[in-house]
Amino acid sequence: MDQTTLDSDAVSASLHTPAGFATIFDRHFDAVHAYLQRRVGPDLADELSAQTFLVAFDKRGGYDPSQPDARPWLFGIATNLVRRHHRDEVRQFRAYARSAEDPVLDAFDGVEARLDASEMRRELVDALAQVPVEELDALLLYAWAELSYPEIAGALDIPTGTVRSRLSRARGRIRAALDAGQSPALGQPIPEEGGSR
């Protein structure tokens, strides 16, 4: 793969020579798929990650050429698509919290369907099921897609300050839920910024 070109150059070039957009796919498909798979399981991830790149191709004219890395843009599209399935996502979190079996892990053949007896983890997913979707998007882009605050801002098209407040609220909710479960391991304060990685 030709890694010497920046994503922004490859996207711009694809406006003249659309075939070049395949390079964006080759670079980022697995990462986008991994993020979606973690959120909604492998089957829906297959569908949504394919859609992500179709939407990206159609909207490539609107790509901000000052952004060298296309990941925030792609994760933003993927997040918009997954939002339509938020109810399924919540249902899966709830099922996990109730039964200690993660439906996302169950969906894999060959991956041992582990019973997760950790009370703390069940409380975590129960809390995730109650986080409002805007906060959940910011939180999972941070924790799972490993985007920085400014990148999340770009992905969700919101100001960085809003990212900060959403993340802070989401983390506060989770901490409160875990504290209520009195898990002794959690006692650390929420970092003030955590800004760029």
Least separation, in Å, of the C-beta of 83 and other proteins?
A: 19
User: How many residues are given for the chain?
Assistant: 197
Contact in structure between 52 and 78 (CB atoms under 8 Å) = yes
Contact in structure between 35 and 80 (CB atoms under 8 Å) = no
Report helix, strand or coil for 66. Answer: coil
Report the residue from 49, 79, 89, 151 that binds other proteins according to the rule CB under 8 A.
49
CB count in 10 Å sphere of residue 2:
9
Say how far apart CA 23 and CA 20 lie, in whole Å: 6
- Both tokens of 62, joined, read 């609107």
Using CB under 8 A as the binding rule, the residues of this chain from 111 to 170 that contact other proteins are 111, 120-121, 124-125, 128, 139-140, 142-144
Least separation, in Å, of the C-beta of 153 and other proteins?
A: 18
Contact positions toward other proteins, by CB under 8 A?
Answer: 1-2, 5, 9-10, 13, 16-23, 25-26, 29-30, 33-34, 37-38, 42, 45-47, 49-50, 53-54, 57-58, 102, 104-105, 108, 111, 120-121, 124-125, 128, 139-140, 142-144, 171, 174-175, 178, 185-186, 188, 190
